[in-house]
């Protein structure tokens, strides 16, 4: 037998040519898909790295802010303690000033033959001990106590007659209704 001779070589050529074109199209498609996937994963990786950097930065800021908050809270507490101490000191000085006015008024109005032996105060009340010449002077002294500026509850205490000295007395002055002496 004789080999067949193809007098129309264009058909196999056209077939090879089409196979090459379809192969190139397929290869281009695969490369295009692979390239787009690589770009997409690269952009995701960049976003992840950016978010990690941002998270790290936020953690650093958070720790710095926590330290700042802690320091400011300590400073605020110290300031509040100093303020409380200063307010207590001002209150104490005001009370001393008020009682000083009351006691100065008492000393200026003291009956002639009477004198004070001891004055002490504790918990908003004052205890006054002294000596009066006789019962009339003791009554005048009690009237002076009732006439003092500020609203006081006058509570008589110990009273004894010492021969040669006079009447030894004790009174307690307490501001009424929790008011301070004025």
Residue 128's Cβ-count burial label (10 Å; 0-12, 13-18, 19+) is buried
25 has a pLDDT exceeding 80: yes
Check residue 130 and report its DSSP letter.
E
- In percent, the amount of the chain with pLDDT more than 90 equals 42
Residue 178 confidence (pLDDT): 53
* Domains of the chain as residue ranges with CATH: 88-178 (3.30.1360.100)
- pLDDT tens track for 36-76: 999 999 999 999 999 999 999 999 999 999 999 999 999 99
Give me 60's structure tokens: 């650093």
116 has a pLDDT exceeding 80: yes
Check residue 176 and report its DSSP letter.
G
Whole-structure pTM value? 0.51
- pLDDT tens track for 75-108: 999 999 999 999 999 988 988 888 788 888 888 8
Other Cβ atoms closer than 10 A to 152: 21
């Amino acid at each position: 037998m004789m080999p067949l001779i193809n007098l129309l070589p264009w058909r196999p050529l056209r077939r090879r040519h089409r196979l090459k074109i379809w192969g190139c199209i397929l290869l281009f498609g695969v490369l295009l898909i692979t390239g787009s996937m690589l770009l997409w994963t690269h952009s995701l990786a960049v976003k992840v790295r950016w978010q990690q950097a941002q998270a790290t930065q936020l953690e650093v800021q958070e720790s710095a802010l926590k330290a700042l908050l802690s320091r400011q809270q300590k400073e605020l507490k110290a300031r509040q303690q100093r303020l409380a101490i200063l307010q207590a000191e001002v209150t104490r000085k005001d009370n001393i000033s008020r009682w000083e006015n009351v006691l100065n008024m008492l000393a200026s109005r003291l009956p002639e033959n009477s004198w004070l032996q001891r004055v002490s105060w504790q918990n908003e009340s004052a205890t006054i001990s002294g000596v009066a010449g006789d019962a009339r002077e003791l009554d005048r002294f009690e009237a002076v106590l009732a006439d003092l500026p500020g609203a006081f509850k006058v509570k008589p205490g110990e009273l004894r007659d010492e021969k040669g000295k006079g009447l030894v007395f004790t009174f307690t002055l307490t501001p009424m209704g929790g008011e301070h002496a004025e």
